[in-house]
C-alpha cells in the first residue's frame, strides 16, 4: 500500500506506519456506531444544581488553595465558515451582473439584516476605514448597492481580511468607542475563574502556525490594559497542532489519496488532534471552552458562577475518589465499602458496572481501582434549543456496562429505529463547557492518551483537485478522546452558551452592547 517515498513522508511528519495503516483501515471499513442505551436527562445522568448547591460549590472552588488552574482555548479555527453566506452572496451578486434584487431572496435574509444593521457590528469602525480607501463610505456604498466594495473590504486580503483570519482575532463586542476581539474576551473571562496564586491568570491557546505571531502581537498590545483593569497578570501559553496528528485520506477506489505530484495527501485531524496539546499541559484543573463561545460583559456573571461551580463540584468528587482509592489500598476491605464504591461509580461518575466481579476482595479492589483512578471531567449541558452539537447519553460499553458519553449524531446508526428514537429523545446538548481533573491521587499527571477510544473517529466526504475523497478525523476531544474518563454532567443555563457560528450571530442580544 505504501511506497518507499510514502514511508519517508510519514516519517518526516512523525507518523508511525502502523498508525497510517490503521487510518486507512478505518477509512475503508468505517467506524462502529455507538450503541445508545438511553438519553442522559435530569436526575438520569445530568445533575441540576439548586441555588444553595451553586453557592456551595462556588465557595468550595474559591477556597481551594495551591491549585494550578488553566483555561484551555482551541483558537486555531479559521473564520471562513462564519462568513459563508456573505461569500456566497458576493459570488452570486457578481454572477448576476450586480443585480441587487437577489438580496430579497429568503436565502439571503440574514445577509440583508447584516447590511441593515452593519452599525451594530463591533467591527463597524474598522470596516468604515477600510471602505474609505475605496473613496466612499459604508453608508453610501450600501445606499448605492455597491455591496461588493463592502464585502471585499471586510473579507478580502486588500481589506480587513476577516475571511481568512481565525475567529480569535475578529472584533466581537463593542464597549463604547472600543471593541474586543474574541481572544480578548477570553482574557477577561479568564480573570473571573482561572486565577492562580499571585493573581496570575493562566491561559493556553492552540493556534495555527501562520497566525501565531498575530495572536502574540494582539496580546502584547492589549495585555497591560486588562492587567491594570483586573489587577492581575496574564501567563499566556501557545501550542500548535502537531503534524503527527494529521490524517490520511482515501480516493474513490479506497486507495490512499495522492497529490498531483504523487505524494500522500494529509488533512488536519480535527479537534481530537488537540488531545496531544491538552496532554502536555501541567495543571490541576483545566477549563475547556471554544474560542467563539463568549458573551458581552453584561452577561458574564452566569458564565463565571457556573464555571466556578463546575470546578467546585469536580473538587468535591475528586476528594471522594481519592478517599476511596486510599481505602482500597488498605490490606483489609469490607464488602460494604466495595458495594458503596460500585454505587458511587454508577450514580455519581457515570460508570454503571455490569461486568461480573471476581469473588476475592483483593481482585475486586484492583478492578474498582482501575475504574476510579482515571481523569475526571465535569461537563456543562444546556437544554436543547436546536443548536448543532453532541448530546449526553448513556452508552453500552464493550463489557456490557453503561457509561456517560458525549455523542455526535454522525456516531449513531440512523437506520436503526430504536437508536434514532433514543437520539431524538435527548433533552440537552454539549456546549463544550468542561472542567477537567487530569492528575491522580498522588498528584501525578495522567497520560491522557491512555483514556481515549480509537474506534470513535469521524469520516467525512470532501473534494480535492476536483476529485472526491474520504477524510478522517481523530476521536473528538470531548467525544472519543475522553471515552474512558470518569464523567459528570451538570445542567448549565443557556445564558452561558453564546456561540458565534455565523456573522449574523453577532447581532444577537447577548453580543450587543445594548439590548
Residue 458: CATH number of its domain: 3.90.550.10
Q: Are residues 290 and 191 in the same domain?
A: yes
Rounded to whole angstroms, the Cα distance separating 274 from 293 reads: 18
Q: What pLDDT, in 10s, does the model give residues 131-171?
A: 999 999 999 999 999 999 999 999 999 999 999 999 999 99
Run of H or E residues at 235: strand 233-240
Q: Are residues 258 and 217 in the same domain?
A: yes
> Residue 193 falls within a domain, yes or no?
yes
> Residue 362 falls within a domain, yes or no?
no
Q: Are residues 258 and 307 in the same domain?
A: yes
Rounded to whole angstroms, the Cα distance separating 474 from 286 reads: 21
Q: Are residues 38 and 132 in the same domain?
A: no
Check whether 211 has a pLDDT greater than 90: yes
Rounded to whole angstroms, the Cα distance separating 434 from 489 reads: 9
pLDDT interval class at 353 (50, 70, 90): confident
pLDDT interval class at 400 (50, 70, 90): confident
Check whether 232 has a pLDDT greater than 50: yes
Check whether 362 has a pLDDT greater than 60: no
Cβ within 8 Å of residue 139, ≥6 positions away: none
Q: Mark which of 155, 180, 199 sits at the end of a domain.
A: 155
Q: What pLDDT, in 10s, does the model give residues 166-209?
A: 999 999 999 999 999 999 999 999 999 999 999 999 999 999 99
Q: Mark which of 155, 187, 221 sits at the end of a domain.
A: 155
Q: What is the residue whose three cell numbers read 435530569?
A: 42
Q: Are residues 174 and 242 in the same domain?
A: yes
pLDDT of the residue at 388: 63
Check whether 354 has a pLDDT greater than 80: no
SS3 for 202? strand
DSSP lists the bridge partners of residue 366 as none
Check whether 407 has a pLDDT greater than 50: yes
- Residue-number span of the structural domain to which 119 is assigned: 80-155
SS3 for 492? coil
Q: What pLDDT, in 10s, does the model give residues 221-230?
A: 999 999 999 9
How far CA 13 is from CA of 21, 144, 265, 473, in Å, comes to 15, 52, 12, 17
Domains in the chain: how many in total?
Answer: 2
Check whether 413 has a pLDDT greater than 80: yes
> Residue 406 falls within a domain, yes or no?
no
pLDDT of the residue at 1: 83
pLDDT interval class at 77 (50, 70, 90): confident
The closest alpha carbon to 163, from 267, 83, 270, 245, belongs to: 83
Run of H or E residues at 406: strand 402-407
Rounded to whole angstroms, the Cα distance separating 406 from 121 reads: 34
Average pLDDT value for residue range 26-47: 95
When the pLDDT of each residue in the chain is averaged and rounded to a whole number, the result is: 94
Check whether 355 has a pLDDT greater than 60: no
Q: Are residues 96 and 188 in the same domain?
A: no
> Residue 394 falls within a domain, yes or no?
no
DSSP lists the bridge partners of residue 468 as 463
Q: Count CB atoms within 10 A of the CB of residue 62.
A: 12
Q: Are residues 42 and 188 in the same domain?
A: yes
pLDDT of the residue at 82: 96
Contact 415, 350 (CB under 8 A): no
pLDDT interval class at 363 (50, 70, 90): low
pLDDT of the residue at 513: 92
> Residue 374 falls within a domain, yes or no?
no
Q: Mark which of 95, 124, 155 sits at the end of a domain.
A: 155
Three cell numbers at 260? 498531483
Rounded to whole angstroms, the Cα distance separating 396 from 419 reads: 12
Rounded to whole angstroms, the Cα distance separating 383 from 491 reads: 8
Cβ within 8 Å of residue 221, ≥6 positions away: none
| CA dihedral for 140, 146, 152, 158, sign (positive or negative) | negative
pLDDT of the residue at 358: 44
Quick one: 136 exposed, middle or buried, by C-beta within 10 A (0-12, 13-18, 19+)? Answer: middle
> Residue 396 falls within a domain, yes or no?
no
pLDDT interval class at 437 (50, 70, 90): very high
Q: What is the residue whose three cell numbers read 458503596?
A: 340
Q: What pLDDT, in 10s, does the model give residues 235-280?
A: 999 999 999 999 999 999 999 999 999 999 999 999 999 999 999 9
> How many CA within 13 A on the CB side of residue 323?
10
Rounded to whole angstroms, the Cα distance separating 350 from 470 reads: 34
Q: Are residues 238 and 307 in the same domain?
A: yes
> Residue 245 falls within a domain, yes or no?
yes
DSSP lists the bridge partners of residue 439 as 445
> Residue 195 falls within a domain, yes or no?
yes
Q: Are residues 17 and 133 in the same domain?
A: no
Q: Are residues 119 and 232 in the same domain?
A: no
- For 294-299, the CB contacts below 8 A with 24+ separation are 294/172, 294/182, 294/185, 294/186, 294/189, 294/498, 295/185, 295/495, 295/498, 295/510, 295/511, 296/173, 296/510, 296/511, 296/512, 296/513, 297/173, 297/175, 297/188, 298/513, 299/495, 299/498, 299/510
Q: Are residues 119 and 253 in the same domain?
A: no
Q: Are residues 73 and 118 in the same domain?
A: no
Amino acid at each position: 500500500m505504501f511506497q518507499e517515498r510514502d514511508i519517508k513522508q510519514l516519517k518526516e511528519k512523525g507518523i508511525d506506519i502502523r498508525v497510517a495503516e490503521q487510518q486507512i483501515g478505518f477509512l475503508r471499513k468505517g467506524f462502529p456506531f455507538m450503541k445508545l442505551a438511553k438519553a442522559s436527562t435530569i436526575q438520569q445522568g445530568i445533575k441540576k444544581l439548586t441555588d444553595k448547591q451553586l453557592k456551595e460549590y462556588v465557595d468550595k472552588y474559591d477556597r481551594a488553595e495551591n491549585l494550578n488552574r488553566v483555561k484551555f482555548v482551541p483558537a486555531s479555527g479559521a473564520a471562513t465558515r462564519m462568513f459563508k453566506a456573505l461569500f456566497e452572496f458576493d459570488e452570486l451578486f457578481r454572477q448576476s451582473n450586480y443585480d441587487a434584487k437577489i438580496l430579497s431572496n429568503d436565502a439571503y435574509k440574514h445577509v440583508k439584516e447584516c447590511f441593515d444593521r452593519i452599525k451594530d457590528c463591533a467591527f463597524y469602525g474598522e470596516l468604515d476605514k477600510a471602505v474609505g480607501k475605496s473613496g466612499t463610505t459604508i453608508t453610501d456604498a450600501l445606499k448605492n448597492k455597491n455591496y461588493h466594495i463592502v464585502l471585499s473590504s471586510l473579507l478580502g486580503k486588500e481589506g480587513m481580511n476577516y475571511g481568512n483570519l481565525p475567529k480569535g482575532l475578529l472584533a466581537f463586542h463593542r464597549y463604547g468607542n472600543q471593541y474586543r476581539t474574541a481572544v480578548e474576551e477570553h482574557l477577561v473571562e479568564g480573570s473571573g475563574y482561572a486565577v492562580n496564586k499571585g493573581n496570575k491568570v493562566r491561559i493556553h491557546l492552540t493556534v495555527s502556525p501562520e497566525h501565531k505571531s498575530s495572536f502574540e502581537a494582539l496580546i502584547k498590545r492589549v495585555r497591560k490594559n486588562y492587567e491594570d483593569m483586573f489587577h492581575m497578570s496574564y501567563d499566556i501559553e501557545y501550542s500548535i497542532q502537531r503534524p503527527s496528528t494529521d490524517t490520511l485520506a482515501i480516493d474513490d477506489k479506497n486507495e490512499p489519496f495522492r497529490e498531483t505530484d504523487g505524494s500522500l495527501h494529509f488533512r488536519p485531524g480535527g479537534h481530537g488532534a488537540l488531545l496531544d496539546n491538552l496532554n502536555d499541559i501541567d495543571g490541576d484543573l483545566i477549563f475547556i471552552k471554544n474560542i467563539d463561545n463568549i458573551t458581552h460583559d453584561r452577561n458574564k456573571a452566569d458564565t463565571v458562577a457556573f464555571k466556578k461551580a463546575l470546578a467546585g463540584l469536580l473538587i468535591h468528587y475528586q476528594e471522594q475518589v481519592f478517599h476511596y482509592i486510599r481505602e482500597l489500598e488498605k490490606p483489609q476491605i469490607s464488602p460494604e465499602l466495595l458495594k458503596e464504591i460500585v454505587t458511587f461509580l454508577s450514580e455519581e461518575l457515570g460508570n454503571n458496572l455490569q461486568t461480573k466481579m471476581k469473588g476475592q476482595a483483593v481482585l475486586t479492589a484492583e478492578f474498582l481501582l482501575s475504574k476510579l483512578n482515571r481523569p475526571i471531567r465535569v461537563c456543562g449541558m444546556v437544554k436543547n434549543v436546536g443548536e448543532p452539537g453532541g448530546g449526553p447519553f448513556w452508552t453500552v460499553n464493550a463489557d456490557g456496562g453503561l457509561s456517560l458519553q458525549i455523542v455526535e449524531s454522525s456516531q449513531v446508526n440512523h437506520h436503526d429505529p430504536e437508536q434514532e428514537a433514543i437520539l431524538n429523545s435527548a433533552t440537552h446538548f454539549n456546549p463544550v463547557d468542561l472542567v477537567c481533573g487530569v492528575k491522580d491521587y498522588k498528584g501525578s499527571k495522567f497520560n491522557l492518551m491512555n483514556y481515549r477510544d480509537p474506534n470513535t473517529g469521524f469520516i467525512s466526504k470532501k473534494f480535492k483537485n476536483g476529485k472526491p475523497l474520504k477524510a478522517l478525523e481523530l476521536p473528538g476531544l470531548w467525544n472519543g478522546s475522553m471515552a474512558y474518563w470518569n464523567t459528570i454532567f451538570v445542567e448549565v443555563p443557556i445564558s452561558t452558551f453564546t456561540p458565534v457560528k455565523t456573522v449574523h450571530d453577532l447581532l444577537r442580544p447577548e453580543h450587543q452592547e445594548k439590548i
